[in-house]
Structure 1
Amino acid sequence: MTTVRSFVFTGLAAAALAACSPQSEQKSANGSADASGKDVKLMNVSYDVARDFYKEYNPLFVKEYKAKNGGAEIDIQQSHGGSSKQALAVSNGLQADVVTMNQTSDIQLLEKKGLVKAGWTSRLPDNAVPFTSTTVFLVRKGNPKQVKDWADLAKDGVQLVIANPKTSGNGRYAFLGAYGYGMKANGGDEAKAAEFTAKMLKNAPVLENGGRAATTTFAQRNIGDVLITFENEANHVSRKLAPGQFEIVYPSYTILSENPVAVVDSVAGKKGTQAAAAEYLKYLWSEPAQELAAKFYLRPQNKTVAEKHKADFPAMETFRPEDVFGNWDAIAKKFFADGALFDKLATGSKTAK
């Protein structure tokens, strides 16, 4: 059942979004030393809309690390951008100690390159996924286009803002969510699902480089009728950055996005940061970190924390992309490789510069 939530885009909010421009690199100047007295610096390479969570998580972890390591300090640097672009950057030499992505395929790429050791999903709970999200729609106050579900996104006169699935996990989930809905609505008929998705993409004339860039275009530049994005990003904008100006539409059937994390073994091994990197990721499952995830509208894995915040997370019918389309290698080959289905369907769209 579709749910709509109401939440005024102020100059303050615009400034906040501008400060969070995509593909920037943020640093936490917290000092650094491990228990042996050797300086420790970690680089966390992550997807763009996670910047707000890690901005608060890093000081939380630094405090915990100091308490557990005799007052030792640690410096954590952040790099954010479209998830797939970030994975490629690490593959091409960006010295990440850890990666915190929004799709398993990005870490699998690093595993294939020999940067992350096999078995990384078994090193942490929940297959190394500390929290999840899902794809929803952000519309303007009053929902002037009366968008209730995916089908409405393919109607004439509805302008969409979406991240580019070729470079962004956010956009990839949006595309797969639409295609999965099209399959379900048409009894599994993929030809009809493709037809529906092509119509929807025609309403998105420009594909932004990443999820935060799409948010900025929609909320700050006031372009478009609907932003297709992660639930946590939609809540962050509508409740915190611009309360009163937007509403969230929860579609009847949508895609589950998992947010896997891993140590980049090749880099951490070379730098001698394996222990600190492992601690950094493990702490994501702590109650304080899970509470922080809920604060940023990421669905926590901790059942107690999730129950405490269930009013913020409406029950939804979701699907895992692997359960519908096969593993991520198959998904990439079928949908997102050069000349694959996305390229064929998105003939009317262009990538933002």
Structure 2
Amino acid sequence: MHSPNLSRYDDSPQNVPYRRVGRSGLQLPVISLGLWQNFGEASPLAAQKDLVLRAFDRGVTHFDLANNYGPPPGSAEKSFGEILRTDLRGYRDELVVSTKAGYNMWPGPYGEGGSRKYLLSSLDQSLNRLGLDYVDIFYSHRFDPETPLEETMGALKTAVDSGRALYAGISSYSASRTLEAFEVARGIGLNLLIHQPSYSLLNRWIEEPDASGMSLTDVCAQEELGVIGFSPLAQGLLTSKYLTGQIPAGSRASADGSFKKEYVSEENVAALRVLNEIASARGQSLAQMAISWSLRDEVVTSVVVGARTTEQLDENLDAARSLTFTPEELKAIDAACVDGGLNLWASRSSDL
């Protein structure tokens, strides 16, 4: 069993600070550990343990999952459940464990979407894999145009009312759909806690108004919803490895996955090089500045990062040491940023 760092909550540059989530009593570390990539059967359990325990030792208490994280789907929850059972046994009440349901998980008409049957069945399966009686946050992972929001929000309310989740959230909903979801939730007595959208220097869709006339950040600020951005490093694009414009062997872009080779475009690489110069002048790596920038506005409670090694994790967590920007830096960053075409979830949720 792991013996955590006794100073993990001290006010120290080594430890990650916290922000309150919207109007709630819950606080999250400004940097959370996501288990979307590098968890499951494709990675040794020992390496997964190293990442989770290193994060916990530095004050990271929030671990973000979904039913389909792996590979294969479900295996990330199983791995994390094993770490909870062994190394983190006795520390459950210090942890915030979140999971989601919405994307395809099993065959047939009840294995994806926003129906009551799918969401609650999936939550029960997630709890079984995790070995938990409840998760802290349960998300609707995507907007489902085929299911009334009354049903999806009602399923989230049942999850909370039954004690299977402490809080409810939504992920990748557009500003318009978030307003609709919030109104439905308020009407049935469900307190939506948090929204999890993709957000990075090269993927700023949450700042742009949609048909509602409001941006997602405006909506979340108005309704006092917390925001937790995922993929602040654009799946690794906002790191030093792509500055040459080449795709390194063993990188995510070299694999056949969610990172498309076309993301390493001339336009994106040109932006990376300018951003890297700004980061260097700040005394940060490009990855660190990208994370810090995503947290510059306190409407964003936290960002979810992944890592392959504890060295990468430490670099990412060190971004929390420098969260402020001068007006000149922000102006230079805005001038360098381009829309990198990185919101691969848009057609399945945020554009609906």
TM-score (norm 1): 0.24
TM-score (norm 2): 0.25
More helix by share: 1
More strand by share: 1
Higher relative contact order (CA 8 A, sep 6+): 1
